[in-house]
Structure 1
């Protein structure tokens, strides 16, 4: 049952109902989330945007940009908001902290927790706080508390929280968030690891956290004391590697630059290409010598690198600067199937390509499934498990992310299965 009733016109009501219908089944799987998204007037939180655009399920609405045009704050796509709400599993009477405010998502949270619950929303930007408060007032959700503060430190006054939901790309999990999370609480955070971001639903696990679910996502970057400029190693004009802090020392940039100028080799190890976001995470956490390789469309059109590097592709780096990365093509058996290939550059191209191909075949035959990874967050000073794969340990400022891959008890069919 809606906690606030609205009379917002036939067009808005029709578009909102169509948006919810489109999201049912995936990502909306619960009646509670469907009902909340069915009653909250999303358009009141983006009054300068057309109704059609506001209610497009996969469209984010930018509301503030910096001088260079970079989006600082946006009304996230409804598809992504529904995904994170389902991950959070919010119930009536809960206390929820939203980190990163825009108003609309806080209203959805207010519907989910009901009159007995409480929602606190925090943002560092005074303009965004004012905008969120105004939208919530227009929509009738004045009981949501919107706080102006640096989200790095949470909002201790209303802690502990049964749920914490973060709505920006987070390079780490600050100690304050863990301290303010209830003992049986859950945090849903878009966590950045080795150049990629996943929305991870974490539950408490001893001193740290353990994942219950993770999904592909994209958000605006963090601001304030938690902001972090991505580390990049430039290999050529508009070609670079994304690395974690401290990883750059392990890569010889001059050797990589020389390797890039050598002719490329191409091989096809016979591994299925499937679930690309899962494969990406597996590769990046499969070896400590993996980094995300990027190239602009200009350099791709010039033939310097394959199109797979356009949005970033995991690259395996050898000690002499040789490197290999993944490509794909239609599988020989036809249909809709694809298979993975490997492009390699450098003096030991054949060797690094073979090692990359082995990772691809391991993925296809032993780990290929949705949600296969087990992700733990361990605060600083917490020992890393001895059995952890070095490639799966991502060091952060406040702790470490440890990614493990339990084998599939029912290997999939197809290439390399």
Structure 2
């Protein structure tokens, strides 16, 4: 029995160090401090329901599902946790808040703040906080504060915080997070803007927050007061749908009829390598298009026969009253795995929609693809925000978000 335990411990150590090497090679870990935290915290103790190999895989571990089988709590993928910790730039002695518990990420934060710092983790689900408390204690992090509460209101009894890291997907940044942020503090939050989620590193600048960096990120949605579901308009049963993150009017029947019309295609001449990310293009289209939504389809051959978007989960789509056009791609060189961006469009105005979307793809390629990232600015809703050409203004519940490009 003792020999088996020693063998398991040795295997866990080896797997943990291999995971760190993978994260460093991929660029997810950039600092010695974050690398040391990942080498130290035993991730398998926070995911006891899966084998060691899965606990140290660079993937999420699902820990709770709702009655429909949808994941509502998980141990996040290590690469994303590493990226967000790098964004946060946590240092020794800091007071930190994690919104969305699981235990493992709070333990990593505890390693970064050291014995003179303090980490608080909060979640609305008692099952989640009970689990986090139990695993933190087992792993030797009993000093981490675990709070059961709706994080919409922050955790005032442990504020102010030098760093706030949000590990659930949110639609807005509530006022409590602003007021509980210490002077010179930083918030890292996966914010949903026009349906797209980006992990924003935000610092205060007068009466607003500004991004100092952002990364593509996806999390289970926040629960409680801050929850806000997207609106789904189905076009062909459950196989094809349009997702809306705002209240723009939609003529659903006209769009369903458009899907029945022959598909128009157009190609941009803009190419990319098979492993090259193109989330910058998606964000540019969300910024530049007024009538914007996301197309999704089921992962079936029947659904693909109807629409073939760049991403089956969420592809930028341009709307008209009775037509739509969306981003696609095709392989142009199998040997080099090179692909070309294009557009598929449906409706009586399909050709015009396709031309508009192609123009925006080319504009992104020419002016923004290799330039500086977009800048997010977040204002309290009470602060008037002027509408300036070239700046997308997105009103939310508590705030107004602007996106601008250099």
8 Å CA contact 2:319, 2:325 repeated in 1: yes
Gaps of 5+ in 2: 1-5
Aligned to 1:261: 260
SS at match of 1:21: helix
Query: Kindly tell me: are residues 122 and 333 of structure 1, through their superposed partners in 2, closer, same or farther at Cα, counting changes over 3 Å?
Result: closer
8 Å CA contact 2:309, 2:315 repeated in 1: no
SS at match of 1:335: coil
Aligned to 1:164: 164
TM-score by structure 2 length?
A: 0.93
Query: Kindly tell me: are residues 7 and 88 of structure 1, through their superposed partners in 2, closer, same or farther at Cα, counting changes over 3 Å?
Result: farther
Q: Distance in 2 between matches of 1:103 and 1:371?
A: 35
Aligned to 1:245: 246
8 Å CA contact 2:209, 2:379 repeated in 1: yes
8 Å CA contact 1:214, 1:371 repeated in 2: no
Query: Kindly tell me: are residues 240 and 175 of structure 1, through their superposed partners in 2, closer, same or farther at Cα, counting changes over 3 Å?
Result: same
SS at match of 2:189: strand
Aligned to 1:138: 138
Shift of 1:170: 0.8
Shift of 1:333: 11
Query: Kindly tell me: are residues 47 and 287 of structure 1, through their superposed partners in 2, closer, same or farther at Cα, counting changes over 3 Å?
Result: same
Aligned to 1:80: 80
Aligned to 1:414: none
Instruction: Kindly indicate whether residue 379 of structure 2 is the aligned counterpart of residue 378 of structure 1.
Output: yes
Aligned to 2:220: 220
Instruction: Kindly indicate whether residue 197 of structure 2 is the aligned counterpart of residue 210 of structure 1.
Output: no
User: Deviation string for 1:48-75 (max 9, x for gaps)?
Assistant: 2211100112x11111111211111111
8 Å CA contact 2:258, 2:323 repeated in 1: yes
Gaps of 5+ in 1: 1-5, 407-417
Q: 1:312 aligns with which of 308, 311, 314?
A: 314
Q: Distance in 2 between matches of 1:321 and 1:89?
A: 48
SS at match of 2:358: helix
8 Å CA contact 1:278, 1:370 repeated in 2: no
TM-score by structure 1 length?
A: 0.90
SS at match of 2:101: coil
Q: Distance in 2 between matches of 1:12 and 1:334?
A: 39
Q: Distance in 2 between matches of 1:330 and 1:72?
A: 36
Q: Distance in 2 between matches of 1:7 and 1:30?
A: 30
SS at match of 1:115: coil
Aligned to 2:89: 89
Aligned to 2:46: 45
Q: Distance in 2 between matches of 1:94 and 1:334?
A: 50
Instruction: Kindly indicate whether residue 126 of structure 2 is the aligned counterpart of residue 126 of structure 1.
Output: yes
SS at match of 2:168: coil
Q: Distance in 1 between matches of 2:262 and 2:395?
A: 34
The alignment yields a C-alpha RMSD, in angstroms, of 2.0
User: Deviation string for 1:111-165 (max 9, x for gaps)?
Assistant: 1001111111111111111111111111111111111111111001111111000
User: Deviation string for 1:282-338 (max 9, x for gaps)?
Assistant: 1111111111011213365562111435122111112x3221111112347973332
8 Å CA contact 1:300, 1:307 repeated in 2: no
Q: Distance in 2 between matches of 1:349 and 1:302?
A: 19
SS at match of 2:402: strand
8 Å CA contact 2:309, 2:326 repeated in 1: no
Aligned to 1:179: 179
Aligned to 2:148: 148
Q: Distance in 2 between matches of 1:65 and 1:335?
A: 41
User: Deviation string for 1:334-371 (max 9, x for gaps)?
Assistant: 73332211111111111111111110100111110376
Query: Kindly tell me: are residues 217 and 39 of structure 1, through their superposed partners in 2, closer, same or farther at Cα, counting changes over 3 Å?
Result: same
